[in-house]
Chains A and B, each alone.
Chain A
Amino acid sequence: MNDYAAVLQNVSFRYGNSEEGALHELDLKIARGECVLLCGRSGCGKTTVTRLLNGLIPHYYEGELQGDITVSGKSIRDTAIEDLAGIVGSVFQNPRSQFFCVDTTAEIAFGCENMGLPEAEIRSRVDSTVRDMKIEKLLDRSIFKLSGGEKQKIACAGVAAMLPELIVLDEPASNLDLDAIEQLREIIASWKAQGKTIVIAEHRLGWLSGLCSRVIYMESGRIGEDFPGESFFSLDPVRLSSMGLRPVVTDKNYLDTQPGLFQLQPFSSGGNIVLENFRYSYGRKNALDIEHLELPEGSVTAVVGHNGAGKSTFTKCLCGLQRKFRGTAVIGGKRMKPRDMQHCSYMVMQDVNHQLFAETVLEEVMLGADKNSEDKALELQKKLDLLEYKDRHPMSLSGGQKQRTAIASALLAGKQLLVFDEPTSGLDLKSMRAAAGLLYSLRSECTVLIVTHDMELIGQCCTHVLHIENGGIHQQVSLPEK
């Protein structure tokens, strides 16, 4: 018994607000020191398993639970979730909603403070965690000024300082760029070396290859298959794709966009959208410095670059949202100032909840448009598979449907330029492909720019790649025809 860090026996669970069960008679034993990957399609129950391990189910998310869960010899049902804190550590997906303090040092100490450890002990734990993770540079910083990757490192440090035996990570990489993922990988590797038990639920698989010693593939609330790490990571892409999983090896890295490499053609002029004088600085710090840039009308351009390269400043300027920005753009043959750019461009945000205002989908789509354009609105909704939901409240839709509602509203308002901010972060293979198909089909209506770290998405739907580094254009290439 003692050789297992966690034992789930015959566990079934149904969320209180759902008709269908999330897990069905699941049996799972996780040995001490194992590094386990949980994967599968969206809704397969991988997140639910992580919540069982850290006690959020049944203590926080309510529902109907059957079966026994034991973590480190303690029954989850009979142990208060706060008392599990020193035993199970959890890292979540969204860096925005897992912080309590405004400075990093206090944040790392937060968990230990809650456990009521003596002050000297906390300080020595914070010091050694910081040293182990090599994040001295991040100490005494304001959390609001950190990048997503840095925030995720602080979250890991806060968990590690509590010295848990089991660490559970729920899609920790879905908001991170490739560099930050590599650093997260190193952190997890060091935990593994210390003999901690690690459970990761994730749909981006590549970075976990060689790290996870066991892979559990889940299918509609059951264990589909239990692989040893090595044999899983050498499965061929066709097999993975039939399982609804993303490929392990990303074959093309569009951050390495040398012309000639995988049939990339250099592209610098010949576009009928012309951007000029795209310069912007925050105080003394130069964030964007592009003098002249051309984009072909009706193209789907991926905007890539490392975190902090200036991608979001660029798109904000393009949508006319950056104050004091003075650049100009020629779109549809018309020369435009930032104020006009605001009228003809639209950004679909990463959290699309921020931009749905109305009470029904139809009203939402009609919001920016003429009162007489209902026919066209219905037509658009039909095209985007939204017609049957036209009287639903937008907030009651699924993520993909919300995204399509936002797209429909932009198209009806006559926007010629659509910018997407990480449209596929957190999507499984099927939803990612559906999104890619949709984005590609928008070419006939408008020009699309996609800010993304998702290399597979780029391969699926983009016609051009714009690589931004240090606020300037690093490369601009066109991709072979699809």
Chain B
Amino acid sequence: MAGLFTADVENRGLVLDPRTKIAVMLTLVVFALGGTGSDTAAVRAGTVAVSILPMLLLAAARQPGRAAVFTAVYAVMKAAELLLVPKTTGAALSILGMCCMIFVRLMPGLVMGAYMLSSTTVSEFIAAMHRMHVPQQITIPMSVMFRFFPTVLEEFSDINTAMKMRDIRIGGRNAEKIIEYRLVPLMVCSVNIGSELSAAALTRGLGTKVRRTNICSIGFHVQDIAVLTLTAGLYFMWILGMIGVIK
């Protein structure tokens, strides 16, 4: 079950603090996607390092297959950007440039996003929000929402199974109604589950006026410090580049 905040706690490998993940995400947006400080050589090298980071984290979270594929794609496209782009012209340049743009600049952020969602549990997420002083009025509805998604997915797969048995499929007799047929039972089941879920939540005291505690132990460990040092280093070099200390 890979999905939103449903990390498999039995087999998750290296665990990072959710706040570290957010920091990496922001750094990727600023440097990889935004191209900040790309006129300084050290920042360019640092950006490559930070761009590969999501793949490494993915590998550390017991998903080596996907990590290897993304790393290979990134390596090829980065090489193409460095070696081929300066030599091409015209239409070839626009196509190649576009591809490099997507895979070199955008992909690391997307991989990081996928890693973030698939490696964090709801409780960790809520604990992190709590530590960052996000108010309870925002975190509680969000936690219930995240809890709701995997259940809806489960329902959806049951409905798909049922449709297979009824021979309702793309290209089948009732193809034009395939969406409608899926939505009606999905909505009915979601409403049922949603209302049972809320009832259960209320009887367990969700929504009391008292401030909620959270026993989920999040905190910065060696791995977090290593990752944060790397990202901080990048910002540091950017500043040095701006004030002209390095080129």
Residues of chain A within 8 A of B189, CB atoms compared: 351, 353-354
Residue of A nearest to B197 (CB): A97
Residues of chain A within 8 A of B161, CB atoms compared: 321, 347, 354
Does A386 interact with chain B (Cβ within 8 Å)?
A: no
Q: From the candidates B6, B144, B185, B209, name the one contacting A100 in the complex (CB within 8 A).
A: B144
Residues of chain A within 8 A of B155, CB atoms compared: 354
Stretch at the interface among B40-48, B95-103, B166-174: B166-174
In the A-B complex, list the 4 residue pairs whose CB atoms are closest, starting with the nearest.
A85-B205, A355-B162, A116-B210, A97-B196
Does B204 interact with chain A (Cβ within 8 Å)?
A: yes
Cβ contact within 8 Å between A115 and B205: yes
Cα distance A140–B1 in the bound complex, in angstroms? 17
Given contacts A98-B197, A395-B188, contact A144 B202 (CB under 8 A): no
Cβ contact within 8 Å between B207 and A82: yes
Taking CB atoms and an 8 Å cut-off, the chain B residues in 150-164 that contact chain A are 150-151, 154-155, 158-159, 161-164
Does A264 interact with chain B (Cβ within 8 Å)?
A: no
Cβ contact within 8 Å between B205 and A162: yes
Given contacts A60-B199, A144-B6, contact A106 B215 (CB under 8 A): yes
Cα distance A122–B212 in the bound complex, in angstroms? 12
Cα distance A395–B10 in the bound complex, in angstroms? 38
Interface residues of B (CB under 8 A from A): 1, 5-10, 121-123, 143-144, 147, 150-151, 154-155, 158-159, 161-168, 173-174, 177, 180-182, 184-185, 188-189, 192-193, 196-216
Cβ contact within 8 Å between B121 and A103: yes
Residue of A nearest to B204 (CB): A111
Cα distance A311–B244 in the bound complex, in angstroms? 71
Cβ contact within 8 Å between A97 and B200: yes
Chain A nearest Cβ from B175, distance in angstroms: 13
Chain A nearest Cβ from B28, distance in angstroms: 26
Cβ contact within 8 Å between A115 and B165: no
Residues of chain A within 8 A of B168, CB atoms compared: 357, 367-368
List 16 additional A-B contacts (Cβ < 8 Å) besides A85-B204, A413-B167.
A55-B203, A82-B206, A83-B208, A84-B203, A94-B196, A100-B206, A101-B121, A101-B123, A113-B215, A114-B212, A116-B208, A116-B213, A142-B8, A353-B189, A355-B165, A413-B166
Residues of chain A within 8 A of B182, CB atoms compared: 357
Residues of chain A within 8 A of B166, CB atoms compared: 355, 357, 367-368, 409, 413
Cα distance A60–B210 in the bound complex, in angstroms? 20
Taking CB atoms and an 8 Å cut-off, the chain A residues in 335-362 that contact chain B are 342-343, 345-347, 349, 351, 353-358
Cβ contact within 8 Å between B202 and A82: yes
Cα distance A116–B122 in the bound complex, in angstroms? 18
Interface centre among A82, A99, A117, A342 (most CB of B within 10 A): A82
Cα distance A90–B213 in the bound complex, in angstroms? 21
Chain A nearest Cβ from B188, distance in angstroms: 5
Chain A nearest Cβ from B163, distance in angstroms: 7
Cα distance A354–B213 in the bound complex, in angstroms? 38
Given contacts A83-B208, A97-B151, A357-B166, contact A88 B203 (CB under 8 A): yes
Chain A nearest Cβ from B38, distance in angstroms: 40
Interface string of A70-86 (1 = CB under 8 A from B): 00000000001111111
Interface string of A317-346 (1 = CB under 8 A from B): 001010000000000000000000011011
Selected A-B contacts with CB under 8 Å, 8 pairs? A94-B196, A99-B147, A101-B121, A111-B205, A349-B158, A354-B155, A368-B168, A413-B166
Does A221 interact with chain B (Cβ within 8 Å)?
A: no
Residues of chain B within 8 A of A141, CB atoms compared: 9-10
Does A119 interact with chain B (Cβ within 8 Å)?
A: yes
Q: From the candidates A109, A140, A342, name the one contacting B165 in the complex (CB within 8 A).
A: A342
Given contacts A85-B203, A102-B6, contact A113 B208 (CB under 8 A): no
